Amino acid sequence: MGTIHTFFVISIIFSCLSGSVDVHFITKRDASLDDRKDCPPVEGQPQPPTRVDTTARLQALRTEMGTADVDVYIIPSEDAHQSEYPPSYDLRRSYISGLSGSAGIAVVTATKAALWTDGRYHLQADDELDCNWILMKDGVEGVPTMTEWIIEQMMNSTTKNVGASPFLLSSSKWKTYEEAFTQEAITMKSVGANDLIDKIWTSGRPEKPKTPINALPLKFAGRSWQDKINDLRSEMTKKHAGAFIVTSLDETAWLFNIRANDILYNPFVVSYAIVEMNQISLYLIDSSTKLSQTPTDEETTETLYEHLNTNQDGTCTGKTGLCVKVLEYNQSGLLTDIETLAETSQSLKVWVTILCNQAIYETIPETQVIQANSKVALIKSMKNSVERAGMQNSHIRDAVALINFMTKLEKEVKEGKKWTEVSAAADLKTYRFDQEYNRGLSFNSISGVGSNGAIIHYSPSNITDKQITTSEMYLLDSGGQYLDGTTDVTRTFHFGTPTEYEKECYTLVLMGHIDLALTKWPRGLYGRDFDAIARHPLWDVGLVYRHGTGHGIGAYLSVHEGPGRISISHAVNPSDEPLDENMFFSDEPGYYEAGKFGIRLETIVMTEIVDTKYHFDATTMLGFKAITLVPYEPHLINFSMLSQRQIDWLNAYHKRVENEVGPKLSGEPLEWMKTRTQQITTSSPASIILPSILLICITSILSLLK
Amino acid sequence: MGTIHTFFVISIIFSCLSGSVDVHFITKRDASLDDRKDCPPVEGQPQPPTRVDTTARLQALRTEMGTADVDVYIIPSEDAHQSEYPPSYDLRRSYISGLSGSAGIAVVTATKAALWTDGRYHLQADDELDCNWILMKDGVEGVPTMTEWIIEQMMNSTTKNVGASPFLLSSSKWKTYEEAFTQEAITMKSVGANDLIDKIWTSGRPEKPKTPINALPLKFAGRSWQDKINDLRSEMTKKHAGAFIVTSLDETAWLFNIRANDILYNPFVVSYAIVEMNQISLYLIDSSTKLSQTPTDEETTETLYEHLNTNQDGTCTGKTGLCVKVLEYNQSGLLTDIETLAETSQSLKVWVTILCNQAIYETIPETQVIQANSKVALIKSMKNSVERAGMQNSHIRDAVALINFMTKLEKEVKEGKKWTEVSAAADLKTYRFDQEYNRGLSFNSISGVGSNGAIIHYSPSNITDKQITTSEMYLLDSGGQYLDGTTDVTRTFHFGTPTEYEKECYTLVLMGHIDLALTKWPRGLYGRDFDAIARHPLWDVGLVYRHGTGHGIGAYLSVHEGPGRISISHAVNPSDEPLDENMFFSDEPGYYEAGKFGIRLETIVMTEIVDTKYHFDATTMLGFKAITLVPYEPHLINFSMLSQRQIDWLNAYHKRVENEVGPKLSGEPLEWMKTRTQQITTSSPASIILPSILLICITSILSLLK
């Protein structure tokens, strides 16, 4: 699926020099409701059914804003852990704006409401936001940034307070906003623990998450939590840090080898942890119940307290070896503990990550805080050998599920049986559930026919559902959670006869996809440094896709994980890290034509050290190995556009599909695969013409000889 | 020539996790003198003659450090204007360290001295630094950053003061250092106007620069200074700024259409300017003399005071129209004026650039300062139509000079006549001087034979001078200053028979060079976003070059100018801007094998809006047009490695050389050019084999028919 991070924001704020000779300028245009489809609403004409009426919610929020004395209120998508996919309880930005997509930030003033979102959600946002909302399309020329827009709105305001919850914004974002506002005498005003959406979202709100926790057996995790704690403590020693606060949910799940279902599609446990040199504290919701609960996963043999080497009440008294003290999850309790920690030893340094929330950050005295990228995130992303094997195995099982399903779908669509985006996604799910170690999906399948395929992060619903036919392209982006790995694969299909243009676009996307997979680079580079290689073939003909090319992926963790990514971006993310070996990324260029079709090809690839013909000054070269093994669609490829190198890659890939997935297929699915994995022989003019000429020549000579 | 900016710093500080399963880690190694050739010195064995003895200088500096109460002293390369190439008077870092190259930063503690420099100067620094110096090679795995190293040195120090001159460090660097040090209780300590190198560099120091100033006629500048001031004031209005402080020397030269020779190869005037809404102040050294001096450039018809519409004493009394008040250049006078400006109107906002020095920055009250990229730099880099035409014309004249010289050089080298790096560079100079509008060189020519070619920014000297022969590669990177443009071109030659490996390397560099020239990209991207396209062919075989791929270039200004550049980099430069139309960049990949040879191919290219086969959502696509028109070396190219697209580009380029430069050549130089610009026909197997087979076939048939 599309990557986490906002694509580059074009920021040429450079306009109208008076009387300039001939220099070209772009004016930053005024953002307004005029850009919205069917806005303002016309009496008697219904609004699109997908739109959420937010009038009452906005009114309630504005009342609270008055009480809290803020002129502007910022509502980010994230929870207190900066989760990309927060628990349903925490979907505040979706509640206030109506946009159900994962990325976006909402800003409400006394009279206006605006939402910034990236290219994956531009079309979807227009479908879901009602006419109260200005849609700010990140990545489109001339769209102001959030801070620029707020500054503009506050220009003539006598009070200039921009409110936000310190739990929901990362400290780095808080600082960025503060810096942008300070010159304009605008103040970032914390509302403390009293988030204004919490005050108005009182009915119909989902429960706080508290699903059972299962220990992940060592045969899947590859490394015990005790060893991981020791690894982390070595890093803390090097950084002269006496405590490390773990705030991201995939980091607590990974560090302690625990999994739950607190977030849809993400097997996380809502939690915090503080790792000190002589103590480890883990904060869990409903901790006493969870510690002694019988495991709900059949592969888990220990209760949580046994796994964490803790007494049944979560204390460590009398325990030998490492023990995790379990405490009740509670924001203010956590802050008090951090405060006490810092006060007890004023020479103690506390390491927090760039993404830690502002509330935690501001609790630690400035002289004691070390803010730096999370080593947990980095070590986690460099998978150990057990995780690497698990990722490869789970991807093979996942390919089997997808191929079996696609064989049926294609056959029945061609027979004229009715399949829709929704019914296909629902049926595919059951194929994944049948696979060994499956623990559900890794995200809501993106199943898009024709124009719906052009909505980059489209979720089919009964309102938008389209039938799958032989006359339109079909984009299917889906993945599963397995005890031994997380998968995410996109293939694009056409069950009839594609147009030449559709084939050309598919081939251009494939060319970038292969070129990226073939890239070798010197260790130390960021993914953003070579994302262009995937975009290059499309750029050549003027085509562009507005999302990142690759995101990291976890091992039975999140489908999107940092700290590496392959994404050109204007705003360089401070938590980015270079790509190193044994990391897993998606390689997923695409092309989307609004109202017509979407194409995306996504294969998970693993970084590894590669050998090269020459070696420069002991530089280590890295490259990719494909892990997803699902064939491409030969009848959508214009082979004459491919280079020999690209064809060689495709042939080698399809040979691996045959060898590694083939043995687990039989009957029609095996045939379905084989029609796609046939080796392509290059038909250069010489190889076609030469035999014919030789034949004519020999025939002539023979006839003359007769 | 190689680009300004430090190549990516590999920063994986990630080591030795205890008992880790199989994750790969890189340890940040201890930097020490052990990495230096011939260090520590051995009694009786002479040091390399290129090394500068800095023992006495370091001793004097350490005495001053004691007096100034600083534990560490930072000596940057730049002057108060953050010039890449400062006046000789300001070469403090060269003086203290011995490294004559343009890039580097020196740090001296009570017992150690260390110098960081980028890949262009790694070999040269080892040749020039004596054994007092630890050489820190930026871009090499495991080398600590300057701040990391200083933190390590200060670990056990009781006082922790890091001293620096606030005039010589940009405010953004000062802030970065402060932020890195604050957690370690290390203080950045300003020495105010009393730079410690100024105190010890008392004998043998060059004079302060004060060369005559010439007004650049409108037929070369394309836009009057009055119009440029109006353009700038429009930008100031948009940013609500009442004053803009111009601190970069290429910006004052461009803004006021003035040129001088205060810096070798850079036609700049050491100066500051303050542009307000109703007043313009320009600070010049020896201002009263310069205002009335007779122009020294034959194309200049006005004296400076006439050009600036000023009275002869630099005042504006009684003048109508825009007038530039000229004041005497003086650091403390400038600071006082800025202070007064801010105090007089406390609602006035003062715009300074990211690169403005810390002394100026800290003079402006925090509530009044706007720090943002310079609009002058951005407008300057988007050349107007007169400048664009001038750049193209001057590049054609420059090509004529280079081709005429190379014809002679190649002929005489082949005849066995003695030519060396130094004599070639000296002779080439005279060919440039003969061209219309030439005003000298744009930098010290890089003329390197064999192993000297591998020193990326090599300057030949009598000590290192090598003979040019028919058995080694020859790298020539040179350029000129013309009233209508600045040039910078690199070609690599072999006057005998190159090895297959040399040809392969040349061809790989050429492939990246052409691929970058062919790149089309959506407006809004930074050059760093697609630099990888030029490196890709080399990476495929494990080869790497440690410098940026492209730098901006001025029009009769600096050979290196911002704010755009084409350079992968770890540390994203905050003053970077996206590439926009009508900008000029070098396209200069290379490959350098220490001790053997260096290859670089550099062509200046201009950005322009390009048409593409398709158009996506009104996205503007940009591309490059080659401006340098000097042929490549066909006998160094392995044509079978090139794609058809690369061959087509090469053919079209050589056709342009013939059409645009050819008419200005005659005799042997014309022939020299023609042997290189012949169109390449692709000899695919089909086109070779088919005619032969047809011939055999017809012959057989005919003989049978007889």
Nearest-CA neighbor of B1 among B442, B430, B410, B474? Answer: B442
Residue A336, classed as helix, strand or coil, is helix
At A694 the pLDDT is 67
At B31 the pLDDT is 65
How far B208 CA sits from the closest chain A CA (Å)?
36
Give buried/exposed letters for A401-419 (b at 16+ CB in 10 A, else e).
Answer: bbbbbbbbbbeebeeeeeb
What is the Rg, in whole angstroms, of the alpha carbon atoms belonging to chain B? Answer: 27
A-contacting residues in B 412-441 (Cβ below 8 Å):
none
Query: Distance between CA atoms of A84 and A566, rounded to whole angstroms?
Result: 17
pLDDT < 50 positions in chain A = 2-29
Cα–Cα distances (Å) from A517 to A159, A178, A388, A490, A633, in that order, read 53, 40, 18, 15, 18
Tokens for A435, please give them: 């696979």
Nearest-CA neighbor of B271 among B323, B324, B310, B221? Answer: B324
At A22 the pLDDT is 29
At A618 the pLDDT is 83
At B11 the pLDDT is 26
Query: Distance between CA atoms of B419 and B409, rounded to whole angstroms?
Result: 8
Choose from A15, A543, A689 for mutation: most chain B CBs within 10 A: A543
Inter-chain CB proximity A385 and B685 less than 8 Å: no
A-contacting residues in B 600-659 (Cβ below 8 Å):
609, 611-621, 643
B-contacting residues in A 476-495 (Cβ below 8 Å):
none
Inter-chain CB proximity B20 and A580 less than 8 Å: no
What average pLDDT does range B217-224 have in this prediction? Answer: 98
B257 versus A17: the higher-pLDDT residue is B257
What average pLDDT does range B434-438 have in this prediction? Answer: 98
Query: Distance between CA atoms of A247 and A235, rounded to whole angstroms?
Result: 17
Q: Which of B19, B234, B522 sits opposite A17 (nearest CB)?
A: B234
Query: Distance between CA atoms of A161 and B74, rounded to whole angstroms?
Result: 41
Torsions phi, psi of B703, nearest 5?
-65, -35
At A18 the pLDDT is 28
What average pLDDT does range B259-275 have in this prediction? Answer: 97
Looking at the complex, does the CB of residue B519 fall below 8 Å from at least one CB of chain A?
Answer: yes
Instruction: Kindly give, in sequence order, each residue whose CB lies less than 8 Å from that of residue B130, ignoring residues fewer than 6 positions away.
Output: B47, B51, B52, B53, B54, B55, B98
Band of the pLDDT at B15, cuts 50, 70, 90? very low
Nearest-CA neighbor of B324 among B252, B218, B248? Answer: B252
Looking at the complex, does the CB of residue B386 fall below 8 Å from at least one CB of chain A?
Answer: yes
Inter-chain CB proximity A532 and B521 less than 8 Å: yes
**In chain A, whose CA is at the least distance from the CA of B235?**
A17
For residues A305 and A294, the answer to whether their CB atoms sit within 8 Å is no
Chain A residues close to B11, C-beta within 8 Å = 524, 578
Torsions phi, psi of A223, nearest 5?
-160, 135
Residue A263, classed as helix, strand or coil, is strand
ipTM summary value: 0.87
At B22 the pLDDT is 29
Chain B residues close to A620, C-beta within 8 Å = 141
- Helix ranges (H only) for B442-546 are 500-518, 532-540
Q: What is the pTM of this model?
A: 0.89
At B237 the pLDDT is 95
What average pLDDT does range B40-45 have in this prediction? Answer: 86
Cα dihedral A372, A374, A378, A381 sign: negative
Report the amino acid identity of residue B593: E
Cα dihedral A220, A224, A227, A228 sign: positive
Q: Which of A234, A533, A581 sits opposite B17 (nearest CB)?
A: A234
Nearest-CA neighbor of B479 among B625, B592, B380, B627? Answer: B627
For residues A77 and A100, the answer to whether their CB atoms sit within 8 Å is no
How far A96 CA sits from the closest chain B CA (Å)?
29
Tokens for B482, please give them: 């013309």
Is residue B349 scored above 90 in pLDDT?
yes
For residues A353 and A373, the answer to whether their CB atoms sit within 8 Å is yes
Looking at the complex, does the CB of residue B595 fall below 8 Å from at least one CB of chain A?
Answer: no
Is residue B443 scored above 70 in pLDDT?
yes
Looking at the complex, does the CB of residue A7 fall below 8 Å from at least one CB of chain B?
Answer: no
Looking at the complex, does the CB of residue B524 fall below 8 Å from at least one CB of chain A?
Answer: yes
Is residue B687 scored above 70 in pLDDT?
no
How far B511 CA sits from the closest chain A CA (Å)?
14
What is the Rg, in whole angstroms, of the alpha carbon atoms belonging to chain A? Answer: 27
Looking at the complex, does the CB of residue B521 fall below 8 Å from at least one CB of chain A?
Answer: yes
Is residue B18 scored above 50 in pLDDT?
no
How far B20 CA sits from the closest chain A CA (Å)?
7
Burial (Cβ within 10 Å: 0-12, 13-18, ≥19) of residue A264? middle
How far B48 CA sits from the closest chain A CA (Å)?
23
A350 versus B576: the higher-pLDDT residue is A350
Q: Which of B15, B533, B690 sits opposite A536 (nearest CB)?
A: B533
